[in-house]
Structure 1
């Protein structure tokens, strides 16, 4: 369950025909480099809901070009390519937050730790696509790591968002931003500003909730789950 103190109103932004997003080539983002683990480990004892990594209103796959069934995955965790990815849209200046819920399906508290902070694009230049912030979700009752999420294209990262930091569901990781047009970020207008989200299980495969392009989301919209036991990547829950 994700806690929320204030209701959020979903606002639908009007789109100009000239604003278009083109999917960035997979090879232009810098993949995470971690040694592969030889141990798969036990199945997770509970699942954790995944929410939009943007506070307030946002839009799922606004232009219909980045559905998780086919969208490119470019980052690795524990030596494995992430399970699924999707673009979540919001004009520049929105607050970026952790996508993980606060409790598991078994009711255990969840802690989220920052495991990666760096420029996300292969050029190493923040102007080309902002920060990649990697987060790890752990069941604090059992001590097991359930999954990770890579949050890409983050602007204006606060200084306290560093590797090892613990973040809550409303801790500000940064903001949505508009970066210069490049091979890593092919966006022609503010309506194309987005967060590229990738998710992975520690064991087996996580899943996403299938929905139509352009679906409006809010803080309480579940978009996927980690800790599930799907048989392969890019599968719906």
Structure 2
């Protein structure tokens, strides 16, 4: 039984807090509310930003007052049911070159867990991940849940520069950096996939609800796919 809360998110925005803890079972509720908002708000809807536990609803304040928008949300929440089909999202693959030269945290993670590099890669690629949220940077997809044997805290000191396409883990989550940026996640490898392109119809390659498989590829295949093999030293 969920007890959602509607919180003020500034002019033209309400944050619906559906849950207080991260859980894969949250996603059908969040996606169901997101779809219902699209219908209920119509042309007044500006944007929807789903996350692990919340949905940010942004609307046009020239078309709806805050009270009107809040009442619409209250009406939807009164009859909200999860998407039992769980059919949201698409099946996606990310080819990944796992190598210490581009995944400098591979050796230390393997040593800490008494695993060989091949075993660690096998664990990371054995799971089909769900995209629970987009954030931090355009196209950065928070995916879970990671095998508990791979769980690792963020780095004590974030790297000032993480290369585009770097595949990483933190806590029970995994992701890939869509652009060069600072970052404190543990780097395992790289994908050649363009994760964000403002000129595409769907600018982010990964969308909330997608099911994602990491597919290990050789250095040669990575290069053929347009990957950058420039090494990155461990911190």
TM-score range, shorter chain: under 0.3
Kindly indicate which of the two structures has a greater share of residues assigned to strand. Answer: 1
TM-score by length of 2: 0.27
TM-score (norm 1): 0.27
Q: Structure with the greater relative contact order (CA < 8 A, sep ≥ 6): 1 or 2?
A: 1
- Rg: which structure is higher? 2
Which has the larger helix fraction?
2
